[in-house]
Amino acid sequence: MTKTPAIRYLLQAVNLFLFMALIAAFSAGPTVKQLDDGLAVVTLAFGHAGQPVSACHVRTPDELAALAPNMRAPMDCPRERSIIKVELEMDGKVILDLTIPPPGAFKDQGVDVYQNVEVPVGRHEFTVRMNDNALVDGYTYTDSYTADLGPAQLLFIDFNQRIGGFTFN
């Protein structure tokens, strides 16, 4: 039993109309609100490799003689990197405290940090501190920034070793 072309076109038009109505319903459907009113977001995101856990050691002639000929490098430098410690403070209160060990089989790779923190809108003083050197007590990098955040605004904090500290955008 074959249908006439007119009926086929009519059924195709009905199917197309139902499909378009479904798309229209979902596109005008409930609105999604990512963030409540009165809140902003602070994002701390960077990649960084910590400093070596110890200084290089100059091998003595006796140490070199004890090694196989192909292993006789005059310097013995560790591969392992320091743990990265990061602290983010807002108006004198710590809102983020991270301790990140280096990944890798030999603990010799850099870490990637990506953290979001929701904060109330308004003017805030942010201080971010980081220690990337196990040989140093305290923090090796510290930067501060004052931001006037509006609703749903994003403050992005990055670390750039070339400039020697954190950047705030």
CATH code, domain with 97: 2.60.40
Using pLDDT thresholds of 50, 70 and 90, give the confidence band for residue 84: very high
pLDDT tens by residue, 51-79 = 999 999 999 999 999 999 999 999 999 89
H or E stretch including 26? helix 5-27
34 in a structural domain: no
Specify the pLDDT at position 123. 98
125 in a structural domain: yes
Secondary structure (3-state) at 25: helix
Q: Which of 18-32, 106-120, 154-168 has the lowest mean pLDDT?
A: 18-32
Q: Which residue has the higher pLDDT, 164 or 128?
A: 128
Specify the pLDDT at position 1. 54
Using pLDDT thresholds of 50, 70 and 90, give the confidence band for residue 19: very high
Cβ-proximal residues to 33 (8 Å cutoff; 6+ apart), any chain? none
104 in a structural domain: yes
How many domains does the chain fold into?
1
- What's the domain range around 85? 39-51+81-168
Q: Which residue has the higher pLDDT, 37 or 44?
A: 44
